[in-house]
Amino acid sequence: MAPPLLQLGSLSLLLLSAVTPSLAASVNTASLPANWSYKGCYVDSVAARVLSGSAYNSDTQTEAACASYCGTKGFKYAGVEYGVECYCGNTLTSTVADETTCSMTCPGNVNELCGGPNRLNVFESTATSPATSAVPTSSAVAVAGWTAGGCYTDTVAARSLTQGMAVAGNADMTIELCVAACQAGGYKIAGVEYANQCYCGNAFANGGAPAPDGNAQCNMACKGNAAETCGGPDRLNVFFSSGYTSTAAGTSTAPPVTTPVPTSTAVPVAGWTAGGCYTDTVAARSLTQGMAVAGNADMTIELCVAACKAAGYKIAGVEYANQCYCGNAFANGGAPAPDGNAQCNMPCKGNAAETCGGPDRLNVFFYGSDTTATASATGTGTGTTTTPPTNTQAAGSGTATKLPTGWSYKGCWTDNKQGRIMNGPQADLTTMTIESCIATCVAAGYAIAGLQYSSQCFCDNQLKNAATLAASDALCATPCAGSTVEICGGGNLDSVYASRDIEVIGPAAPQKDGLPGLWQYKGCLMDQDPKSLPEKIVYTGTNTGNKCLKACSDYGYNAAGMEYGEECYCGDKSDPAKAGAALVAESDCSTPCPGNAAYLCGAGNRLSYYEWVGEPIQKYGFPQGAAAGEYVLLGKAPVIALITTQGTNGKVTFVEKSGTSTTPGSTGAYEWDPSTNTFRTMHVKTDVFCSAGLVLPDKVGRQINIGGWSGDSTYGIRLYWPDGSPGNPSVNDWQENYQELALQNGRWYPSAMVMANGSILVVGGENGSNGPPVPTLELLPRAGGALYMEWLERTDPYNLYPFLAVLPSGGIFVAYYNEAIILNENTFATQKKLPNIPGAVNNPLGGRTYPLEGTMVLLPQHAPYTEPLGVLICGGSTPFGGYAIDNCVSTVPEATNPTWVIEKMPSKRVMSCICALPDGTYLILNGAHVGVAGFGLASDPNHNALLYDPTKPINSRMSIMANTTIDRFYHSEAILLQDGRVLVTGSDPETDGLEQELRIEAFIPPYLKTGRPVPSYTITDKDWKYGDTVTVTVTLPSGGTPKFSLMGAESSTHGNSMGQRTIFPAFTCTGNSCTITAPPNAHVAPPGWHQLFLLEGGVPSKSQYVRIGGDPGNLGAWPKLADFNVPGSG
C-alpha cells in the first residue's frame, strides 16, 4: 500500500474528470489577479520545459492560483498543464497550439481550463519583472557552520558535485535537509538543484563554477519550503562548511569561507606592504608582466614579491592560488575590488596559510613607503606613482630587456604578403607593450607573439604563409602605444618574440595526402541553405581535415568537408546535388585549419570537400518484390495499446492509459484473438499509462503489469492468468488491489526483468506524471528495501525505461541514456562501466532510452553458448534539439574491453521498435525522423522498415524493406506472433494534424512470402529443465534441413521489448525425430516461456510455447492474497 501522503485517490478521480473535454469549461480571465491576461495554448514537453522557473502541483489547481503563485515569485509567465500542474518562467520558447488541445479542466474549478497532455494554458503579467530570487543566506540554514556560496553551473551529463544524495523525502526538499545530509555523509560542499535535488562533494568537478549570469537561473522554490530557493535547471545553490578549502585550479573555483587576506607582517621580504584585493581579467591584465617563479605549483607571496623585485618592478600581485604578476602601474582599469577582500579567497599553493588572490582577483603588494600607485590611461586608481625602470633598448631595435624567462626577440617579419603570418588571438590596445602582448599570448597558450603598428598583438605557434624576415630590422620602427621606448612593429610588419625556435610553414593548401581511410579531396564546394552537407560539428580551435574526416567515416558518412576553419560537415555523396551545390574556384577556399594551419579548411560558405572512394563504408541491401516483405492491414483496435504482450494462450493483450484515454468508454485493457481478428473487453482498476510488463515463469505464464501514471496507479501491480486458446473464448481478467499488493516506490516509466534466480527486478522511473526521479530498484516478491542508484538520479530524465538483460557469465547489463554498466546480480553494485554509448555524429550526448527513445534487443545466442552475448541498440535522439539519431550501435558487454560498433541506418529514427524474428534477423520499424518521444514532440514519420541480419559483415547487415502508409509515432508497438508475422499497432501523438491511430497491421517477413510450404512439429514435453533433452516429431515438406529457435516471451512498450531473447539450441535428428537440448543454465536462458519455432530453409513453423527453467522464484504461489488467483508452485 502506498504511504498515506502519496495516496492520491481523490486526485485520481479529479483527473479522470479533467481529461474529458468540457463544453462548459473555458479560460476564466475574470478570476485572474490584476495585470494578468491570457496568452494562449502552447506546446510543452517533459524533456524540455517551456517554463523552467518555479513549479508545483495541486489537486485544487485553478488558473488564478497558478498566476498568483508565479506573480509572487516575480515571474512574467504562468502556465497550467495536465489539470494539476503549474509552471512559471520569464521566457516563452514554444509554439502556439490549437486551443482545443488545452482541454483539461482545473480540479479546483471545473469551469476553467488547465492545459492538457504536454499543453499549457499560458498567462502573462504586465506588472512583474524577471524573477530575482535571492540565494538563501547562512541565516536561513539551520545547520550551524555552513555559509551560502551563490549560484553555480551544473549539467545532467557531468555533475559539478558528483554525489547525489537522497534526503528524507526529495519531494519535501529544503536547504536544511540537503546540508544536513551532506554533513552527515562527511562532505563539505552541499548544493540544491531543480527544487528537489541534493548533491554533495568536497570539490567541484566537470567545470562547475559560479554561474556567469549570477543568481538569475537559481530561481526555483524549494519543494519543502517555498521561501527558500533550491537552484534551477542546470543550476545549484551552493553551501560551504566552515572546514572547506578549495582544491587545485581547474577543478574548483569555489571560495574558502574564512581564509583571511594576509597582512604585511606575513610577508618576510623587507620593504613591501600588502595593498588589498584588486580586480583583474584574463583578456586585459591589471599588472601586465606575468612572472614565472621557482615552481608556480608552490607559489607563495614571498616568491612572487621576490621575483618582481628582482626584475625591477614595484608592484607584485598573486592570483588564482599559483600565478604571479608584476608592474609599476595598474593597466586596463585595475583597481581595488568593489567587494573588498571577498573574492581574494584562494590559499597559496605553496603555503595554505597565505591567500593568493582568486578568480580575476589579485592580492597586491607595494614596494617602498608609498602604498598607492597611479593607474595607466585606462585605469581608475589615484595617488602618485614610482617611475618605471628605464628600458635600455635602442629605439627601433625591436627588443626589450625584461622578457619572461625563455623568451627572446626573433626579428622584424613581413606580414600579409600571402596572408596573415599569425592567426591566433589578437588584442588591439592603446596601452600595448611588448610585455603585455607576450603575457596575452602566454595566457592563451601560444609560444610566439607579434606586435604590429603600435597597438596590435598577434599570437601563434608557427609563422604561416611562407613568412620572411623584413629587408631590414630597422623597418620595425613604430613605438608601442603603451611605451614610447619600446618598438611595436610597423605597417604590415611584426616585431616577433618567441619562447622557442621559429617554425615557418608555407601557404595553406588543401590536404591531399596522409588522409584517413579511403578519403579523397574533390575540390572547393559552394555551401548555402539548404546546406550542401547536413551534419555539422564545430571543433573550435582544433579542427583539421583528418579530425573531421575520421568523425564522418566513423559514423558511416561517405562525404565530408570543412568550412570557415572550425566547422566540419558530414553527409552522403548525393547531398551536394540535392542542395544544388557545385565546385567553385580553388582560391575560394582560403581559411587555414585551426588545428593544422598547413592545410585549408574551406572559407565562409565554402567547403574543402572530400569523398570516400572505393569500397563503401555502409552497404545496404535493396530486396525487391516478395523479398522486401509486406504490410497488411488487419483492421482497427478499440484502443491504442501502450503495451502489447502475446500470451501463452496465443492471444495478445492490449493495455492502455485507461484514466487518461482518448478513446471514449475505454476500460484500459483488451485481448485480441489473431485467429478470429476479434477483441475481448478486459478491465484494470488504475491507470497503466507508461507501466512495465512481463510474462512470468510460473506454470501458466501469467502476465504482470507494473507501475502507472499517477498517485495510486504508480504503485500498481496487476496480474492476468491467460486462459482460452485461439478461437476459444477466454474469461479471466486482470486482478489488482493496490491497497494489498503494491510497489515500495511509485513508478512511472519503469523497466522490469526476470532475474536468473526467478525474482522480478524493477528499475527506475519517475514519481508519477512529470514527477521527480525514482532512482531506485526493488524486487518482487518484495525482498528488502528499495536500493538507491546514483546513476539513475544523475541521468534523469533521459534514463526512463532503461534496457535490462541477464548476462551468460552472470551479472545484469543495464543501458540508460548514453551509458551502460554491469551490475552484480546479488548486491546490485556496479561492477563494470562500459564506454559511453555513441550518439549522433554532431552530438555525442545523444541518448537511447525514453524520452530520447531508441530500442535495444539481444543478438542471437547459439549452442554451445561459448560466445559472449551481443546487444544491439538502434535509433534515439538528442536532448533539447530533438535531432534524431541515424545509427545502430552494438557491443559485447562481457568482453574484457568492450567497444561500441557504429552502423549507419539509411535514415534517422526516434521512437523505433525492433522485433526479433525466428530466423535470427531483426525487423526495425516505426517512429519518426525528427523529435523525441512524447505527445506532440515528433514529426515526419519514418514509414520504412529495415531488416538487420547479424550473420552478415558489419556495415552490410541492413536491408531496406517495404513501406507502410500509416504513421507510427509515440506509443506504437511491434511483437512477434506465433505464425511468424509481426503485429504492428498504435500511434498516439495527440497532435493537430496527426492521427490517433487505431488501425493495426501485420508485417509479413520475406520468409513467409517464398511460396514454400510451412514446416510443422509435434511436442509432448513443454516444461523443460536446464540441460534436458526433449524429443519432437517434425514434418519438413520441402525435404530440407531443420533448425530450431527459441524466442523469449516479451512485452513491448516504448521501444523496450521486456523479456526478448533469441536462442538457437543444440539438436540432433534421425529421420523425422529430433532431440533438442535445452539451454544449460539460467544465465544463458533466464527462467521463462519461449516460442519454439522449427525452421526449414529459413521458413518458420507455427510456434508452440515451452517453459525453460521452471519457477525458481516460486512466483506461482505469489501473492498469497484473497483477491488474487494463483496457479501454485512448480
Per-residue pLDDT tens over the stretch 409-453:
999 999 988 778 987 767 788 899 999 999 999 988 899 999 998
Domain assignment of residue 1130, yes or no: no
CA dist 3 to 8, 190, 742, 767, Å?
10, 28, 10, 13
Q: Which of 555, 518, 505 is nearest to 534 (CA)?
A: 555
Between 653 and 254, the more confident residue is 653
Give yes or no for residue 96 having a pLDDT over 60.
yes
Give the other-Cβ count within 10 Å of 430's Cβ. Answer: 11
Q: Vertex 878, ends 873 and 883: CA angle to 5°?
A: 105
Asked if residue 1028 and residue 990 are part of one domain, the reply reads: no
Q: For residues 1005 and 267, which has the higher predicted lDDT (pLDDT)? A: 1005
Q: Tens of pLDDT along 720-757?
A: 999 999 999 999 999 999 999 999 999 999 999 999 99
- pLDDT at 393 (0 to 100): 33
CATH of the domain at 692: 2.130.10.80
Please check whether residues 35 and 105 belong to one and the same domain. Answer: yes
pLDDT of residue 662: 72
pLDDT in tens, 1054-1068: 989 999 999 999 999
Q: Are residues 153 and 273 in the same domain?
A: no
For residue 822, the tally of other CB atoms under 10 A from its CB is 21
Q: Which residue, among 380, 404, 415, 398, has the nearest Cα to 483 in the 3D structure?
A: 398
Residue 277 shares a structural domain with residue 310: yes
**CA distances in angstroms from 693 to 917, 1044, 1050, 1082, listed in the order given:** 20, 27, 8, 20
User: What per-residue confidence (pLDDT) applies to 401?
Assistant: 58
All three cell numbers of 483: 611605451
Q: What is the pLDDT of residues 367-384, one digit of tens each?
A: 875 444 433 322 323 232
Q: Are 1000 and 637 in contact (CB under 8 A)?
A: yes
In a domain, 372, yes or no: no
Half-sphere exposure of 683 (CA within 13 A, CB side): 7
User: Is the model's pLDDT at 174 over the cut of 70?
Assistant: yes
Report the 10 Å Cβ neighbour count for 506. Answer: 11
Q: What is the biggest distance separating any 2 CA atoms in the chain, rounded to whole angstroms?
A: 110
For residue 1000, list its beta bridge partners: 635
Query: Are 207 and 325 in the same domain?
Result: no
Distance CA 475, CA 491 (A): 9
- Tally Cβ neighbours within 10 Å of residue 972: 29
pLDDT band for position 1124 (cuts 50, 70, 90): very high
Is residue 1090 a part of any domain in this protein?
yes
| pLDDT exceeds 60 at position 571 | yes
Distance of CA 193 to the CA centre of its chain: 17
pLDDT at 177: 84
Q: Are residues 34 and 88 in the same domain?
A: yes
Q: What is the CATH number of the domain that holds 1097?
A: 2.60.40.10
CA distance 480 to 489: 8
Stated pTM of the model: 0.65
Distance, CA of 818 to CA of 795 (rounded, Å): 9
Q: Of 50-59, 155-164, 767-776, give the range with the top mean pLDDT.
A: 767-776
> Are the beta carbons of 719 and 1126 closer than 8 angstroms?
no
d(CA 270, CA 184): 47
Confidence of residue 193 (pLDDT cuts 50, 70, 90): confident
The sign of the CA dihedral 841, 940, 990, 743 is: negative
Rg (CA), the chain: 34
Indicate whether 457 belongs to any domain.
yes
| pLDDT over 60 (residue 268) | no
CA 180 to chain centre: 30
Residue 785 predicted with pLDDT over 70: yes
pLDDT of residue 400: 57
Which of 868-906 are b and which e, b meaning 16 or more Cβ less than 10 Å from the residue's Cβ? Answer: ebbbbbbbbbbbeebbbbbbbbbbbbbeeebebebbbbb
Q: Is 790 part of any domain?
A: yes
The more confident residue out of 131 and 526 is: 526
Whether the Cβ atoms of residue 568 and residue 554 lie closer than 8 Å to each other: no
Burial (CB count <10 Å: 0-12, 13-18, 19+), residue 1011: exposed
In this prediction, residue 1105 carries a pLDDT of 99
Asked if residue 182 and residue 110 are part of one domain, the reply reads: no
pLDDT tens digit string along 790-823? 999 999 999 999 999 999 999 999 999 999 999 9
Instruction: Give the dihedral of Cα atoms 105, 106, 108, 112; nearest 10 deg.
Output: -70
- Confidence category of residue 47, pLDDT binned at 50, 70, 90: low
Distances (CA, A) of 381 to 144, 233, 357, 445, 1092: 40, 40, 19, 30, 87
Phi and psi of 692, rounded to 5°?
-115, 160
203's grid cell:
570539490
Query: 477 and 541: one domain?
Result: no
Whether residue 740 is found in the same domain as residue 776: yes
Cβ contact 762:783 at 8 Å: no
Q: Which of 923, 915, 930, 873 is nearest to 1059 (CA)?
A: 915
- How many structural domains compose the chain? 7
State pLDDT tens for residues 486-519. 999 998 999 999 999 999 988 889 999 999 999 9
One domain, residues 424 and 549: no
Give the residue numbers spanning the domain of 172: 138-241
- Indicate whether 514 belongs to any domain: no
Among residues 1008, 1035, 1069, which one ends one of the domains?
A: 1008
Is residue 923 within 8 A of residue 977, CB to CB? The reply is no
Residues 101 and 53 in one domain: yes
Name the domain boundary from 576, 609, 642.
609
User: Could you tell me if residue 19 is inside a domain?
Assistant: yes
Q: Are residues 116 and 228 in the same domain?
A: no
Q: What is the mean pLDDT of the chain?
A: 87
Q: Does a structural domain hold residue 403?
A: no
Instruction: Please check the confidence at residue 267 and state whether its pLDDT lies above 80.
Output: no
* pLDDT for 135: 34
- Give me 189's grid cell: 560542499
For residue 1027, give the amino acid letter. Answer: G
Instruction: Locate all alpha helices (DSSP H) within 489-643, ordered by sequence.
Output: 545-554, 575-578
Of residues 210 and 1091, more confidently modeled: 1091
